Amino acid sequence: MEGKSPRTTSWYEQKLKTFVAFCDDPPVGELTLEDARQFVVGLWDKDITAQTIHGYVRTLKAFASWLEREGYTSDNRFKKLKPPKVPKKLVQVLNEEEIKTILNSFNQDTQLGARAYAICVLFLDTGIRSGELCGITLDDVDFKRGVIKVNGKGAKERIVPFGNMAKKALMRYTRVFRPEPAMGAIDNLFLSTDGYPLTVNAIAKIMRRVAQRTGVERLHTHLWRHTSAVRYLMAGGDVFSLQTILGHETLEMTRHYVQLASRHIEIQHKRFSPADNLGLRRR
C-alpha cells in the first residue's frame, strides 16, 4: 500500500517467514520478547553474519511496531529487542589494477562482451545500483547531455551524469549489439540475448563469471558502487554532489564514503610515500 518495491517487500517477507516457522506460527497475541530473543540466538548458532542478524532484528522490531499500531497487540512486544553490534570493516574497493584487469577482459566485438563492458563501465562511472541499472530505458539516456534518468529507491527519480568512456561503451552496445526486444513494449537499455530485460540476478551472475575469469574473486555489483564513490572523492569530487549522484536521502549515509576514501588515501600513502621510497638509509 505504501508503494515499497517488490524487492523490499520480499526482503521483509522472507525474514518474517523464517521467524514464523521458528515460533511454529502462534497467534500474534501470544508472541513474547523471549520468542524473539531465542530466534536471534538460533541465528547466531547458524553462523550467520552480524550484518544479516541485524537485518532480522530490524524486521522484527518493525513488525512489532506495526502490530501495536494496527491494534493486533496492546503493546510493542519487541521494543526491548536489541540489534547486534555490526563490526565496521574497511571495504576493500577495487584498485586501479583490478579495474583495468576486469575491463580489459571483455571481447567488445561480441554481443555479450560489449554488454558486460558497458555495464561495468556504467557501474564504475555512476555508482548506480544494479536494480536501477535494470530499470534504465532507452529514453532515460541523454547522450548529448551525458546524463541518465534513474528510478531509485522509493520510486524517486534522479539525474545521474556519465563521462565519455561510458558514453562510448553505451553507444556501441545500443547501436551495434543490443538485440531486438522480444516484445514491442520492452524498451529497457540492457537486454538478454533473447530480447528480455536483464534482471538483478542476471547481472549478479555476470559479475560472478567475470570474477572467476579475472581472478578478482571479491567482485560483486555493489562493490562497483563503493569503488565509484571512493574514486570520485579521491579525484576531488565533493560530498554534496556525491550524495545526489548516489541518491542518498541523508548526508550521513554519504559520509561513510568520506571516511572510506580517507582510509584508502592513508593506505596509498604508506605504499607510495615519497620520502620512504627514496631508499635512503638512516645514518
Task: Name the fold adopted by 96-271.
Answer: hpI Integrase; Chain A (1.10.443)
Question: How far apart are the C-alpha atoms of 257 and 226, rounded to whole Å?
Answer: 8
What b/e readout covers 96-115, taking b as 16+ CB neighbours within 10 angstroms?
Answer: eebbebbbebbebeeeeebb
Low-confidence winner among 65-79, 182-196, 225-239 (lowest mean pLDDT): 225-239
Q: What is the pLDDT of residue 283?
A: 59
Q: What is the pLDDT of residue 137?
A: 96
Q: Which three cell numbers stand for residue 174?
A: 545500443
Q: Is 222 a known active-site residue?
A: yes
> CA-CA distances (angstroms) from residue 217 to 37, 196, 230, 255?
36, 28, 20, 27
Question: How far apart are the C-alpha atoms of 149 and 119, rounded to whole Å?
Answer: 16
Marked catalytic residue, from 54, 58, 153, 208: 153
Q: Are 58 and 83 in contact (CB under 8 A)?
A: yes
Marked catalytic residue, from 77, 117, 257, 264: 257
Q: What is the pLDDT of residue 277?
A: 63
Quick check: 58 pLDDT over 90?
A: yes
If DSSP codes are grouped into helix, strand and coil, which group holds residue 49? Answer: coil
* pLDDT category of residue 118 using cuts at 50, 70 and 90: very high
Q: What is the pLDDT of residue 278?
A: 62
Average pLDDT rounded to a whole number, residues 94-110:
95
Q: Is 269 a known active-site residue?
A: no
Question: How far apart are the C-alpha atoms of 203 and 191, rounded to whole Å?
Answer: 11
- Note the pLDDT tens digit of each residue in 202-237: 999 999 999 999 999 999 999 999 999 988 888 888
Marked catalytic residue, from 61, 178, 226, 248: 248
If DSSP codes are grouped into helix, strand and coil, which group holds residue 160? Answer: strand
- Note the pLDDT tens digit of each residue in 247-266: 887 877 777 777 777 776 66
Average pLDDT, the chain: 89
Q: Which amino acid type is present at position 147?
A: V
Q: Is 225 a known active-site residue?
A: yes
Question: Would you kindly state where each structural domain of the chain is located, as residue ranges?
Answer: 6-69, 96-271
